[in-house]
Amino acid sequence: MNTIAIFHSYFHYLIHPFKTHESFMYPDLGDGYKPMRLNPYESLTASWFFVIINAIFRMITLNFMIVFLLDLLNDSSVDYASFINLTEFPSLYFIVLSSILDIIFFPLFGFFVIQFWEATIKIYGNLLGVSGDLAEKASDIIAVSYSSHLFKIVPVFGSPLQSLSGMILMYAGLRKQLNASPVLSVCIILTPVLILMLLASFLVIMSLFIMQF
């Protein structure tokens, strides 16, 4: 498969999510550009590329900050070295370690995320009585939503932008593929939050119940 074509379609997903889903649902309509139909795992692999770039940028930025700080300390007339030791700063190690862990665990975590959303979208699709291949619809929605990871290369604000755009892309897919209402689409997107809240409530109730004995 052509790598350039994959990334071209990936960018198109991000810029034109509604048009992308329309082209998936009605491939014979229109004569404009039609992006490739990537599956979630192909989109995950493309996203991994930007996660790697993000991790590299973070470590390069950290290195420049350390070099700048060392030069600043060396040029100063005050001997800061006697009471400042950069190697003892846990935040530096945390940034490097988190960058490495992001690269390693992103595809593994992404696999479970894909499985979760495939099951969730199919459940809602069945409840709504959506016709057509729900597995294919879920695959399209997830593949398009993963294109939000392009924002990972944006310094500082990349992660918040990725999270926000990911929800918008998921919303577009639910509106087009499942024909869900705006309110229901938001509720579906918030399903993980609702599940966590239910689990937290269950744990609290269980803890209170155990404390009675």
The two tokens of residue 124 are 């809602």
Residue 84's pLDDT is: 53
Residue 113's pLDDT is: 95
Please check the confidence at residue 89 and state whether its pLDDT lies above 90.
no
pLDDT tens digits, 144-185: 999 999 999 987 788 899 999 999 999 999 999 999 999 999
CA distances from 152 to 51, 53, 160, 202 (A): 6, 8, 9, 35
Going by the DSSP 8-state scheme, the letter that residue 187 receives in this structure is H
How far apart (Å, rounded) are the C-alpha atoms in residues 12 and 143?
12
> Which residue in this structure is represented by tokens 């609702």?
194
pLDDT tens digits, 99-116: 888 899 999 999 999 999
Residue 108's pLDDT is: 93
Please check the confidence at residue 83 and state whether its pLDDT lies above 70.
no
The residues, ordered by sequence, that sit 6+ positions from 99 with a Cβ below 8 Å of its Cβ are 54, 55, 56, 58, 59
pTM of the model: 0.84
